Homo-oligomer: A and B are copies of this chain.
Amino acid sequence: MDPAVKKAALRLFTYGLYAVTARHGDELSAMTVNWIVQSSFDPPLVALAVEHDSHSRQVIEAAGAFAVNIYESGQRELAGSLGRTFAKHPDKITGAAWTPGPATGSPILAAALAWVECRVQSATPSGDHVLFIAEVIEAGQHRPGAPLTIAEAGFKYSG
């Protein structure tokens, strides 16, 4: 396999951009992700790949839950800000207005277009990431609008 062709093909996959947040006691996590899809209608499940060696993976596992906040078109700067590493920017979420989700306490961003709260059902190893399958147990929509895509933002996280 030619690694350059592999990278080019995988970068043709289409992605949105989302802030995934979690809370375990006083510990908060927030990150910008694109590797997430729905994976069942009934019950409603989502599948989320999280870097194994990340702060978010630890908090999500401890909490057994997370929220997915859907960025709106135009929110490239917010997505970039929450996409910085926790190691270098442990307070990155304090710059964003949020309230605890009603079902799990996971941070719900005021700026997000809409959000879902999810309860983790399983965690499967997936190379350098962990794949969480989680049930959608609460949802909200702040306003109508179009979602931010990775193509609009010009970010690259695939290949």
Contacts and interface: CB of A to CB of B under 8 A. Distances in A.
A115 B9 contact: yes
Given A1-B139, A14-B149, A131 B6 contact: no
A125 to B, nearest CB: 8
List the number of copies, as a whole number. 2
Contact of A45 (B103, B126, B137, B138): B126
Interface residues of A, number: 54
Nearest to A33: B37
Contact of A13 (B1, B9, B137, B147): B147
Interface string A10-47: 10111111100000000000000011111111111111
A129 interface: yes
A123 to B, nearest CB: 10
Contact of A38 (B13, B124, B137, B140): B13
Contact of A114 (B8, B38, B40): B8
A17 B127 CA distance: 24
Nearest to A17: B14
30 contacts: A1-B103, A1-B136, A5-B139, A6-B116, A6-B139, A8-B114, A8-B139, A9-B139, A9-B140, A10-B38, A10-B44, A12-B16, A12-B70, A12-B114, A13-B16, A14-B15, A14-B147, A14-B150, A34-B37, A35-B37, A37-B37, A37-B49, A39-B126, A39-B129, A40-B128, A40-B129, A41-B127, A45-B126, A47-B131, A131-B131
